[in-house]
Amino acid sequence: MGCPTHAASGDVDTSFGSGLTIDQTPTTIATQPDRKVVLAGKSFLVSGRIRHGLFRLNEDGTPDITFEPETYPGAEVSSLAVQSDGKILAAGILSTSASETPRATVTRYFPDGRLDTTFQAPVLRGLWESGNTRHVSILLCPDKKILVSEVEQYSSFSRAYLRRLNANGTFDTSFDRDYFFDGAPSSPSPFNQMARSSSQAASSHFMPDPPMGPAQHQPTQR
């Protein structure tokens, strides 16, 4: 597959990614300050090169061969964020060494793809064990803390965990919430609203409770 962009008129920019081939669709993308594009998902074959979880394109859409992500087989990235210093945050199923079993975590990489070992790579709740539909997302807050949402969807209800990390990847122990709400997986949930509210109040040590509908369970706070 290719990665088309669109010109100002809405026409496909055929000059972008000329000759680029990717064997599967990425699940998320993020643009760096230098206009390079980071793409993520599972393992990719990008113009003949294997990339686990992450790869990057130059501004013109060609593969950035200088980007050698220190990721490993089994990587499954579901969310990205780029810091102002160019470091890349990735959330999903990842490992920090070849011998480590991939797990639910957040990792950070230098602009060249090297793993930032000063970032703690926390162990998240591991919602993937049950085999239900699940997703982990990150939101970089103005104070450089990182909001992490983990959502697991069952047939009749969803379970959501909301955590916040300090800038070095350790858990912000002043912020920890579990939310349970009923409804089909496709039903609107208050979770995105909760995340937006937390981002706006990132420097505070609390977040207002979301509005409670008749089909929701009261959240527990620990």
The ranges assigned to domains in the chain are 20-121, 130-214
pLDDT tens string 149-202: 887 777 677 777 888 999 999 999 888 776 655 444 444 444 454 444 444 444
> Hey, is 129 helix, strand or coil?
helix
Of all residues in the chain, the percent with pLDDT exceeding 90 is 32
Residue 222 has pLDDT above 50, yes or no: no
The pLDDT of 12-16, averaged and rounded, is 78
User: Which among 204, 197, 211 is positioned nearest to 162, based on CA atoms?
Assistant: 197
Q: How confident is the model at residue 219 (pLDDT cuts 50, 70, 90)?
A: very low
* Residue 199, both tokens: 């981002």
User: Which among 69, 114, 77 is positioned nearest to 93, based on CA atoms?
Assistant: 77
What's the chain's average pLDDT?
A: 76
* 150/178 Cα distance (integer angstroms): 10
Q: Which amino acid is at 28?
A: T
User: Which among 120, 100, 107, 126 is positioned nearest to 53, based on CA atoms?
Assistant: 107
* 44/55 Cα distance (integer angstroms): 8
Radius of gyration of the chain measured on its C-alpha atoms: 18
Name the residue with higher pLDDT: 11 or 68. Answer: 68
Name the residue with higher pLDDT: 128 or 55. Answer: 55
Confidence at residue 9, expressed as pLDDT on a 0 to 100 scale: 67
The pLDDT of 136-150, averaged and rounded, is 92
Of all residues in the chain, the percent with pLDDT exceeding 70 is 69
Residue 137 has pLDDT above 60, yes or no: yes
DSSP string, 161-203: EEEEE-TTS-EEEEEEEEEEEES-TTS--SHHHHHHHHHHTTT
User: Which among 71, 83, 188, 84 is positioned nearest to 138, based on CA atoms?
Assistant: 83
- ∠ CA 144-204-116 to the nearest 5 degrees? 20
Confidence at residue 48, expressed as pLDDT on a 0 to 100 scale: 79
Residue 31 has pLDDT above 50, yes or no: yes
pLDDT tens string 75-116: 889 999 999 999 999 998 889 999 998 888 999 999 999 999
The beta strands (E) that lie in 32-87 are given as 37-46, 49-57, 76-82
**Listed ranges 25-29, 125-129, 138-142, 203-207; the one with the highest mean pLDDT:** 138-142
180 Rama sector, left if φ>0, alpha if ψ -120 to 50, beta otherwise:
beta
